[in-house]
């Protein structure tokens, strides 16, 4: 197998409509990227698996979608205004994007949020008041963040506009270690579910002095990217730093009352944090495969079914035969309808080029199955189903397609 390089991944991503340079027709803008149709579907599938595993399938999680623009006091209390910076020569450069809210002399300073965690912490009280959750419980958010990186690089690895999938999991102070270990295992399980193999993920215990100011313990999950082993996601024990800081700055009581014991205290926090762009890049790297099939070299993306942008492609064997096209459209409509019921199945119609070119094109975008309607289909209502990974083909009854695609 040939080496997976960034050049190959970037080329395929643009050629097949996953990811494009931002503002490309004007020469681009460093650190920004636009998502094409297939890239958008891949990204949403990765996010949907995360949301299902960590929110929908649990009874102790609550979602929030907080504003991107927030009162600047949020970032002063969190330490971002004074400390969210990188060295720039002999000075420090704050990476937050500053903006103005309103017009003229009355305009107030604000910032585009540099992380999603702030919006979770300022909604802790709202969540407790609305839902009366019992500890431990978590608040989850998927959303945009913005960082004025000095040197964005390595494709979508380090960017200025990013998406995060973050959880703040609130626990009793004495229970943080067991909760930390539970979320360590859950993070690894999620990565494996979306197609990031465990043998490419490495845990780095971040030492004192290198951790963020709010963290008492941090594990970085590093991945073997083509450009080296780098951070993919993180798990931090944030103690009660954030809730205590926001309580002091806002004057609001952000403690928690345990009605069973009568004890009131400020919960501690475990934070699993995932960058969407980095997860997409890790998935692309893990899926990128080169081999030979039928004596010819090919490139394909070996996506897990759970996150493949396209579940199956439907072809008529010949697009100039109306009877084949009509039957293929019938099968396509059946599967599209089923896909609407089945949480995000996406079926593609493809009649461009000969059958071999269609197979290779679908391989390259990671479609697990190709379904060909041929003349035998007109006789017995069976179709040819081709497997992406092996290239093997089998005859399957149209009535059984839904079952085998699940």
Give the model's pLDDT for residue 131: 97
Indicate if the pLDDT at residue 337 is higher than 60. yes
Please state the pTM of the whole predicted model.
0.95
- Domains, the chain, in order of start with CATH, read 6-285 (3.30.930.10), 310-405 (3.40.50.800)
Give the model's pLDDT for residue 87: 64
| Bridge partners of residue 88, in order along the sequence | 91
> What does the DSSP assignment read for 303-331?
--TTT-S-SEEEEES-TT-HHHHHHHHHH
What digits encode the pLDDT tens for the residues 21-43?
Answer: 999 999 999 999 999 999 999 99
Rounded alpha-carbon distances, angstroms, from residue 225 to 200, 201, 288, 309, 353: 9, 10, 12, 22, 35
SS3 state of residue 147: coil
Give the model's pLDDT for residue 89: 60
CA pair distance 22, 32, nearest whole angstrom: 5
Q: What angle do CA 189, 268, 138 make, to 5 degrees?
A: 45
CA pair distance 47, 275, nearest whole angstrom: 10
Q: Is 33 left (phi over 0), alpha (psi -120 to 50) or beta?
A: beta
Indicate if the pLDDT at residue 1 is higher than 60. no
Using 50, 70 and 90 to split pLDDT, how confident is the model at 209? confident
Q: Identify the DSSP state of 354.
A: -
| Bridge partners of residue 169, in order along the sequence | 138, 270
Rounded alpha-carbon distances, angstroms, from residue 22 to 63, 160, 161, 201, 282: 30, 11, 11, 29, 20
State the first-to-last Cα distance of the chain, in angstroms, to the nearest integer.
30
CA pair distance 385, 120, nearest whole angstrom: 46
What tokens does 108 get? 């107030």
| Bridge partners of residue 222, in order along the sequence | 202, 231
What digits encode the pLDDT tens for the residues 60-95?
Answer: 999 999 999 999 999 999 999 988 877 666 677 889
Rounded alpha-carbon distances, angstroms, from residue 195 to 61, 114, 286: 24, 28, 7
The residue whose two tokens read 């949480």 is 343
What digits encode the pLDDT tens for the residues 316-331?
Answer: 999 999 999 999 999 9
Mean residue pLDDT across the chain: 94
Which stretch of DSSP H or E encloses residue 261?
none
Which residues are CB-neighbours of 236 under 8 A, at least 6 positions away?
211, 212, 214, 215, 217, 218, 219, 270, 271, 273
Give the model's pLDDT for residue 186: 97
Give the model's pLDDT for residue 92: 77
Identify which has the larger pLDDT, 86 or 161. 161
Using 50, 70 and 90 to split pLDDT, how confident is the model at 242? very high
Give the model's pLDDT for residue 275: 97
Q: What is the mean pLDDT of residues 155-170?
A: 97
Which stretch of DSSP H or E encloses residue 127?
helix 124-131
Q: What is the mean pLDDT of residues 222-229?
A: 97
Contact predicate 121/110, CB 8 Å: no
What digits encode the pLDDT tens for the residues 345-364?
Answer: 899 999 999 999 999 999 99
Q: Using omega within 30 degrees of 0 as the cis cutoff, is the peptide bond preceding 136 cis?
A: yes
């Amino acid at each position: 197998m040939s080496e997976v390089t960034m050049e190959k991944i970037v080329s395929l991503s643009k050629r097949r409509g996953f990811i494009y340079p931002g503002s490309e027709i004007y020469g681009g803008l460093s650190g920004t990227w636009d998502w094409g149709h297939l890239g958008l579907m891949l990204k949403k599938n990765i996010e949907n698996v995360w949301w299902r595993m960590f929110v929908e399938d649990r009874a102790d999680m609550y979602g929030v979608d907080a504003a991107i623009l927030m009162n600047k006091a949020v970032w002063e209390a969190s330490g971002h205004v004074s400390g969210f910076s990188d060295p720039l020569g002999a000075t420090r450069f704050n990476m937050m994007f500053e903006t103005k809210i309103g017009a003229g002399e009355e305009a107030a300073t604000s910032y585009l949020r540099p992380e999603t965690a702030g919006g979770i912490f300022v909604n802790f009280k709202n969540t407790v008041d609305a839902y009366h959750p019992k500890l431990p419980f978590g608040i989850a958010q998927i959303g945009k963040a913005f960082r004025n990186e000095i040197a964005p690089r390595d494709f979508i690895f380090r960017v200025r506009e990013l998406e995060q999938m973050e959880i703040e999991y609130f626990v009793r102070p004495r229970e943080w270690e067991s909760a930390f270990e539970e979320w360590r295992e859950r993070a690894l399980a999620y990565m494996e579910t979306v197609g990031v193999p465990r043998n490419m993920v490495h845990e780095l215990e971040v030492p004192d002095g290198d951790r963020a100011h709010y963290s008492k313990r941090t594990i970085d999950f590093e991945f073997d990217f083509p450009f080296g082993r780098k951070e993919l996601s993180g798990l931090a024990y944030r103690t009660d730093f954030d809730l205590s800081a926001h309580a002091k700055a806002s004057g609001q009581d952000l403690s928690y009352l345990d009605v069973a014991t009568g004890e009131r205290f400020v919960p501690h926090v475990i934070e699993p944090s995932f960058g969407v762009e980095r997860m997409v890049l890790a998935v692309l790297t893990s899926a990128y495969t080169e081999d030979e099939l039928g004596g010819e070299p090919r490139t394909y993306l070996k996506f897990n079914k759970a996150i493949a942008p396209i579940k199956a492609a439907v072809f008529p064997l010949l697009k100039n035969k109306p009877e084949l096209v009509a039957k293929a459209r019938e099968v396509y409509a059946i599967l599209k309808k089923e896909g609407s019921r089945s949480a995000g199945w996406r079926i593609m119609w493809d009649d461009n080029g000969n059958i071999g070119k269609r197979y290779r094109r679908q391989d390259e975008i990671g479609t697990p199955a190709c379904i060909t309607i041929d003349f035998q289909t007109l006789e017995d209502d069976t179709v040819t189903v081709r497997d992406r990974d092996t290239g093997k083909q089998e005859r399957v009854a149209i009535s059984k397609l839904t079952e085998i695609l699940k």
